[in-house]
Chains A and B, each alone.
Chain A
Amino acid sequence: MLEGVRKFQKTRKLIVREESEPSWEYGHNPRSRPVDLLMNLATVVLDKQKGPTSHDVVATFKRLIKVDRAGHTGTLVI
Chain B
Amino acid sequence: MTGVLVVLTGSATNIMSYTHTFNKEYVGVGELHAKVKETRLKSVMKELTGEIYQRPPVRSAVSRRLRTREVFYFDLLEMKDRRLLFKVGTESGTYVRKLINDLGLLLGTGAHMAELRRTIDGPFVEKDAYSLWDVAASLELYQRNGDDSLLRKVFLPIESAVATFPSIYIKDSAVASVCHGASLAVGGISSFEEPIAQHDIVAVKTLKGELVAMGRANKDSSALAADKTGMAVVVERVVMDRNLYPKMWR
Identify the A interface with B (CB < 8 A).
1-5, 7-9, 12-23, 26-31, 33, 35, 38-50, 54, 57-58, 60-61, 64-65, 67-78
Dominant secondary structure of chain B at its interface with chain A: mixed
Bound CA span A53–B154, Å: 21
Query: Which residues of A lie under 8 Å from residue B126 when comparing CB positions?
Result: 47
* A74, B92: Cβ atoms closer than 8 Å: yes
Bound CA span A31–B160, Å: 10
* A48, B5: Cβ atoms closer than 8 Å: yes
* Nearest CB of B to A55, in Å: 11
* A1, B163: Cβ atoms closer than 8 Å: yes
Query: Which residue of chain A lies nearest to B136 when distances are taken between CB atoms in the complex?
Result: A64
* A15, B16: Cβ atoms closer than 8 Å: no
Given pairs A1-B163, A4-B122, A15-B194, 9 additional interface contacts (CB within 8 A): A5-B164, A30-B210, A38-B151, A38-B152, A40-B11, A71-B8, A71-B13, A72-B8, A73-B7
Query: Which residue of chain A lies nearest to B205 when distances are taken between CB atoms in the complex?
Result: A30
Query: Which residue of chain B lies nearest to A22 when distances are taken between CB atoms in the complex?
Result: B207
* Nearest CB of A to B229, in Å: 13
* A64, B135: Cβ atoms closer than 8 Å: yes
Bound CA span A75–B209, Å: 29
Query: Which residues of A lie under 8 Å from residue B159 when comparing CB positions?
Result: 30
* A43, B6: Cβ atoms closer than 8 Å: yes
The listed residue (A2, A38, A48, A68) touching B163 by CB distance below 8 A is A2
Bound CA span A12–B200, Å: 14
Bound CA span A15–B126, Å: 32
* B123, A4: Cβ atoms closer than 8 Å: yes
- Once A2-B123, A27-B245, A50-B2 are accepted as A-B contacts, the answer to whether A7 and B9 lie under 8 Å apart by CB is no
* Nearest CB of A to B124, in Å: 5
* A69, B164: Cβ atoms closer than 8 Å: no
* Nearest CB of A to B41, in Å: 24
* A35, B210: Cβ atoms closer than 8 Å: no
* A45, B4: Cβ atoms closer than 8 Å: yes
B114 contacts the other chain (Cβ, under 8 Å)? no
* A42, B136: Cβ atoms closer than 8 Å: no
* A46, B160: Cβ atoms closer than 8 Å: no
B230 contacts the other chain (Cβ, under 8 Å)? no
* Nearest CB of B to A54, in Å: 6
* B225, A45: Cβ atoms closer than 8 Å: no
Bound CA span A77–B116, Å: 10
Bound CA span A38–B211, Å: 12
* Nearest CB of B to A60, in Å: 6
Bound CA span A46–B6, Å: 6
Interface membership of chain B positions 112-148, coded 1 if the CB is closer than 8 angstroms to chain A and 0 otherwise: 0000001011111111111110011001001000001
Query: Which residue of chain B lies nearest to A33 when distances are taken between CB atoms in the complex?
Result: B157
